[in-house]
Chains A and B, each alone.
Chain A
Amino acid sequence: MASRRAFDIRHQTGFPVVALTCFFLLYLPIAALVVYAFNAGASVAVWQGFSLRWFVTAWNNEQVLDAAWRSFRIAVCAAFIATAAATMAALATTRTRPYRGLNAKYAFINMPLMVPEIVVSVALLIFFSRIKLATGYTGLGYLVAAHAAFCIPFAYLPIRARLEMTDLSLETAAADLYATKWQAFRWVTLPLLWPGILAGLMLAFVISLDDVVITEFVKSAGQETLPTYMLGQLRRAVTPEMNAISTVFLLISVGIVTLFFIVSRKRT
Chain B
Amino acid sequence: MTHHSQDQFAIEVCNVGMVFGSGAHAFKALDDVDVAIRENEFFTLLGPSGCGKTTLLRLIAGFSYPTEGEIRLHGRDIAALPPHKRPVNTVFQNYALFPHMTVSENIAFGLVMLGRPRAEIRDSVDRMLKLVQLEALKDRRTGQLSGGQQQRVALARALAPQPKVLLLDEPLSALDFKLRKEMQIELKRLQHETGITFIFVTHDQEEALTMADRIAVMSSGHILQIGSPRDIYDRPAERFVADFIGETNFMTADVLSCADGTAQVALPGGARFAARVPDGVRPSGQVSIVVRPEHAELVDPGAGAHLTGRLAHVVYFGTDTHYHVLLDTGQRFILRRQNSRNAGAEPPEGAVVGIRIDNGAAQMLKD
A binds B: yes
A residues neighboring B (CB under 8 Å): 167, 169-170, 172-180, 183, 187-188, 191-192, 268
* B259 within 8 Å of A (CB atoms): no
- Asked if A177 and B143 make an inter-chain contact with CB atoms under 8 angstroms apart, the answer reads no
- Asked if A176 and B61 make an inter-chain contact with CB atoms under 8 angstroms apart, the answer reads yes
| A195 CB → nearest B CB, Å | 10
Distance in angstroms between the alpha carbons of A173 and B273 in the assembled complex: 54
- Asked if A176 and B83 make an inter-chain contact with CB atoms under 8 angstroms apart, the answer reads yes
- In the bound complex, residues from chain A placing their C-beta under 8 Å from that of B161 are 177-178
Contact of B96 among A170, A179, A187 (CB under 8 A): A170
Contact of B100 among A176, A177, A192 (CB under 8 A): A192
* B114 within 8 Å of A (CB atoms): yes
Contact of B110 among A170, A178, A180, A268 (CB under 8 A): A178
Distance in angstroms between the alpha carbons of A191 and B109 in the assembled complex: 14
Which partner residue on chain B sits nearest A172 by CB separation?
B63
- In the bound complex, residues from chain B placing their C-beta under 8 Å from that of A179 are 84, 109, 113
A183-B113, A191-B100, A268-B99 known; A177 vs B94 contact (CB < 8 Å): no
Sample (22) of A-B pairs whose CB atoms are under 8 Å apart: A169-B94, A170-B96, A170-B98, A170-B99, A173-B98, A174-B109, A176-B61, A176-B83, A176-B84, A176-B158, A177-B109, A177-B113, A177-B158, A178-B85, A178-B110, A178-B113, A178-B161, A179-B84, A183-B113, A192-B100, A268-B99, A268-B141
Distance in angstroms between the alpha carbons of A188 and B61 in the assembled complex: 19
| B180 CB → nearest A CB, Å | 21
* B89 within 8 Å of A (CB atoms): yes
- In the bound complex, residues from chain B placing their C-beta under 8 Å from that of A177 are 84, 89, 109-110, 113, 157-158, 161
| A164 CB → nearest B CB, Å | 16
* B347 within 8 Å of A (CB atoms): no
**SS of A interface (majority):** helix
Contact of B90 among A176, A180, A192, A268 (CB under 8 A): A176
- In the bound complex, residues from chain B placing their C-beta under 8 Å from that of A180 are 84, 113
| A187 CB → nearest B CB, Å | 8
| A235 CB → nearest B CB, Å | 52
Distance in angstroms between the alpha carbons of A173 and B85 in the assembled complex: 13
* B82 within 8 Å of A (CB atoms): yes
- Asked if B99 and A192 make an inter-chain contact with CB atoms under 8 angstroms apart, the answer reads yes
| B86 CB → nearest A CB, Å | 8
Hey, what's the 0/1 contact readout for B100-117 against A, CB within 8 Å counting as 1? 100000000110011000
- Asked if A169 and B96 make an inter-chain contact with CB atoms under 8 angstroms apart, the answer reads yes
- Asked if B143 and A268 make an inter-chain contact with CB atoms under 8 angstroms apart, the answer reads yes
- Report B209-223 residues with CB < 8 Å from chain A CB: none
- Report B157-177 residues with CB < 8 Å from chain A CB: 157-158, 161
| A182 CB → nearest B CB, Å | 11
Contact of A175 among B82, B97, B157 (CB under 8 A): B82
* B92 within 8 Å of A (CB atoms): yes
Contact of B92 among A173, A183, A187 (CB under 8 A): A173
Distance in angstroms between the alpha carbons of A176 and B318 in the assembled complex: 45
Most buried by B among A173, A177, A183, A192: A177
| A42 CB → nearest B CB, Å | 55
List 18 other contacts, CB 8 Å, given A177-B158, A268-B141.
A173-B90, A174-B98, A174-B109, A175-B63, A176-B63, A176-B84, A176-B90, A176-B158, A177-B89, A177-B110, A177-B161, A178-B110, A180-B84, A180-B113, A188-B98, A192-B99, A268-B99, A268-B143
